[in-house]
Amino acid sequence: MCNRHDKLRSDNKDLQKVEKQFDRREFLTKTSLGIGALAFSSLLNSDKAWSNVKNNIKPNLGELGDINNVLPHHLPKAKRCIYLFQSGGPSQLELFDYKPKLKGLFGQDLPESVRAGQRLTGMSADQTSFPIAASTINFNQYGESRAWVSDAMPYLSEVVDDICFIKSMQTDAINHDPAITFFQTGSQQPGRPSIGSWISYGLGSDNDNLPTFITLVSKNGGGQPLYARLWGNGFLPTEHQGVQFRSGKDPVLYLSDPENYDGHDRRHMLDYLSKLNKIQNDAYGDPEINARMAQYEMAFKMQTSVPEVTDMSDEPEYIFDMYGEDSRDPGTYAANCLLGRKLLEKDVKFVQLYHQGWDQHLGCPGGVKMNAKKTDQANAALIKDLKQRGMFEDTLIIWGGEFGRTVYSQGKLTATDYGRDHHPKAFTMFMAGAGVKPGITYGETDDFSYNVVKDPVHTHDFQATLLHLFGIDHERLTYKHQGRRFRLTDVHGHVVKDILS
């Protein structure tokens, strides 16, 4: 082997030149960066890859020779996604998981055989009893699917035949921040890339004028705080971080020109800056230099595209009526749902909405009704709107929080009021649209909505299924960081094939 290498080196003047120019460490560093750039460029060319898969054309892998460098891995069902994250932990018992037997058990202590020593939060661990609280909100069945929905969600009841309810969700974290971080990044510890960043890294953009991944947060939200790291890029290149759009005059911070500057020479400035950064990149080979330039270019394009996409003046009155009166007030949940639809129309690949306020430790019935009133009409309108525009079949819609709520009351229990603590071992989410079976309910909980008794779906299973719908094998989309190959699902997760159409 050594003799063969020596012969190649003696016959190859280019190789001799390289060896003279670099020492071993520098050569390996710059070569690896070059290969990484080639692989990354192939990831960005997602339209071509999708077309190849669709038409059963084998990709030309060239010298890389690794199918992991070509995405999507299989034919995707989802072209875009809007994730409606309900921060705080919506109570499945008040919304979707109907448990009629609980009415006859009002005030009785939750059997130890049901609780089975499960972890409790510090807010209810010192309770001397765990009295059962049946929901005071009525339920009915709707649609051909006969799905159970409470009276708190009257608009959603109109579209149940388009929805897949997953009533057997489970997660590992019992407190808000690690639980939200776990859902959004696959780890309870901060620092990992978010779902939208993984999608951006793996598939690139379908739009040259807007970010691949955009985040919207309902204004004036109370409850648990939300941090920008929830839509951060972690250790992925920085151009894959989520960009937050805000309500008000400047939807994106620092995008507007300074006062008394007309921006006429900005193109010239960016071109010159690009030349300077190219010199730096040639000298140091730091991929963050190119990432920063990509962000500058995107910001330049967004100066035109953002005012256009956030302008609601072209929306007809019947659209505002469909989403509800709040949709006329920028920054509300309803307005963000409508803006989210506009972003999806512009081929933004991943839109993340956050709505706070679902943390009902006290006053659960009233708190759930209040939050449902703010969100229910817009949720249903979004599904109807996407359907009438022909976008429902390739848009994935997700609704859910970080965990559910306990069947027992936290604090004082009365005939009309009670609170519920965090419960990670059994709760409900729903999905709809691209590649998801419509009009089904998947999974079951016990009579107390405390334990999953059929078809459990873990957080990592949910993440693996989401990536699968985008044509991504969750075990093959990895990024090497600090000597280890990381992925969204860590070392866990399986695709929930029974909910796929």
> Residue 276: exposed, middle, or buried by beta-carbon count in 10 A (0-12, 13-18, 19+)?
exposed
Start-to-end CA distance of the chain, whole Å, equals 52
- The list of the chain residues with pLDDT below 50 reads 1-2, 4-5, 7-12, 14-22, 27-68
Written as one letter, the residue type at 322 is M
- Which two tokens mark 276? 């300077």
> 427-433 and 395-400 as β-strands: parallel, antiparallel, unpaired?
antiparallel
How many Cβ atoms from other residues are within 10 Å of residue 357's Cβ?
22
Residue 44: which residues within 8 A CB-CB, separation 6 or more? 204, 205
Q: In whole angstroms, what is the distance from residue 499 CA to residue 399 CA?
A: 15
* Beta partners for residue 137, in sequence order: none
| Among candidate residues 103, 95, 100, 104, the one with its CA nearest the CA of residue 147 | 95
| Among candidate residues 325, 318, 466, the one with its CA nearest the CA of residue 384 | 318
The predicted model scores a pTM of 0.83
Whether 402 contacts 171, CB under 8 Å: yes
How far are the Cα atoms of 190, 418, 446, 448 from residue 132, in angstroms, in the given order? Answer: 35, 10, 14, 9
Residue-level pLDDT at 254 = 67
Q: What is the pLDDT of residues 12-67, one digit of tens each?
A: 454 444 344 445 555 444 444 444 444 444 444 444 444 444 444 444 333 333 43
Q: In whole angstroms, what is the distance from residue 478 CA to residue 273 CA?
A: 32
Residue 222 CA from chain centroid, whole number: 21
CA angle 138, 139, 140 (to 5 degrees): 135
Whether 27 contacts 53, CB under 8 Å: no
| Among candidate residues 302, 378, 291, the one with its CA nearest the CA of residue 346 | 302
List % helix, strand, coil for the chain (3-state, nearest 5).
Answer: 40, 15, 45
Q: In whole angstroms, what is the distance from residue 197 CA to residue 242 CA?
A: 7
Is residue 422 helix, strand or coil?
strand
Whether 428 contacts 72, CB under 8 Å: no
Residue 272: which residues within 8 A CB-CB, separation 6 or more? none
